[in-house]
Amino acid sequence: MLELKNLTFTAQNTDVNGKSSIRTIIDNVSYTFEKGKFYAITGPNGSGKTTLAKLIMGINEATSGSVIFEGKEITGLSITDRARAGIAYSFQNPARFKGTTCRDLLAMAAKTDDEKVIVDIITRVGICSLDFLDKPVDSRLSGGEIKKIELATTIALNPKVAIYDEPDTGIDLWTIDPMVKLLKKEQKNHNTTTIVVSHNRAFLEAADVLLLIKDGKIIYRGDLKGALPLLNDFSLCSFTNVCEGELNARCYR
């Protein structure tokens, strides 16, 4: 349904002395996401997860390789055209829009002014519609609030492929499980191909398929059980040592 073929992304690095070098951030990745499945992408900080998500959305331009969506090559398409085709991306660090309210944002995404529809979406992500409907989506929102609004916007778009980049960042403990349930429900009800980039065990457990990225490569695809030895590998997860040998991926967060 969504196929990545030998996808590569390189970027130019310039050090403080002005010396530049080319770095491969996504390295010849090939993978096919199936319609209606729930995927979790995890891996160490800086391994390339966000870069890969942005390549799918067209925010980053592939250096080589291709992205094929529903049988059509979309590698050269703009973000807007990919969005029109049914791909949505929820940013790790969402943008803030001075002068735009939650109502405006969600009305645009859901393509309706119907307050009932907008209130329903806001409520589903666990924020109070009375407080938030006419609140500006600007720098006064807290880190967790802006993430919830970003999530609501992606849900409102009702995309064919929904990519959520660390939706749980800054989210309180009590909201994470309902958030997993919400995204699973969206996936089931709308047959949405769901791709969640996360370090959180709750998302890794909920996924049909877990992809583990390291150094710009997919080094594992499968279930969480099979990934545990890799997640506990010191070279992959430097936090494991604080768990003093506890062979449990709970320490992977």
Footprint of ligand ATP on this chain (CB under 6 A)?
11, 13, 25, 43, 45-51, 92
Query: With respect to Mg ion, which residue has the nearer C-beta, 93 or 191?
Result: 93
Q: How far apart are the first and last CA of the chain?
A: 31
CB of 147 to ligand ATP, least distance (A): 14
Nearer to Mg ion, 163 or 179 (CB): 163
Q: How far is the CB of 110 from ligand ATP (least distance, A)?
A: 28
Site for Mg ion in 39-98 (CB under 5 A): 50, 92
# binding residues, Mg ion (CB under 5 A): 2
Q: Which residue has the tokens 């002014």?
A: 113
**Where on the phi/psi map is residue 21: left (φ > 0), alpha (ψ -120 to 50), or beta?**
beta
- The two three-digit tokens of residue 6, written as one number: 């030998």
Handedness of CA 195, 200, 205, 209 (dihedral sign): positive
Smallest distance from ligand ATP to CB 13, Å:
6
Residue with Cβ nearer ligand ATP (102 or 163): 163
- Closest distance of CB 120 from ligand ATP, Å: 31
Compute how many other C-beta atoms are within 10 angstroms of the C-beta atom of residue 173: 7
Confirm if 35 and 204 have CB atoms less than 8 A apart.
no
Contact of residue 218 among Mg ion, ligand ATP, none (CB under 5-8 Å per partner type): none
CB of 15 to ligand ATP, least distance (A): 12
- Binding-site partner at residue 167 among Mg ion, ligand ATP, none, CB < 5 to 8 Å by type: none
Beta bridge partners of 136: 101
Which residues are 41's β-sheet partners?
A: 197, 211
Dist CA 67 CA 2 (whole Å)? 7
**Residues within the interface to Mg ion (CB under 5 A):** 50, 92
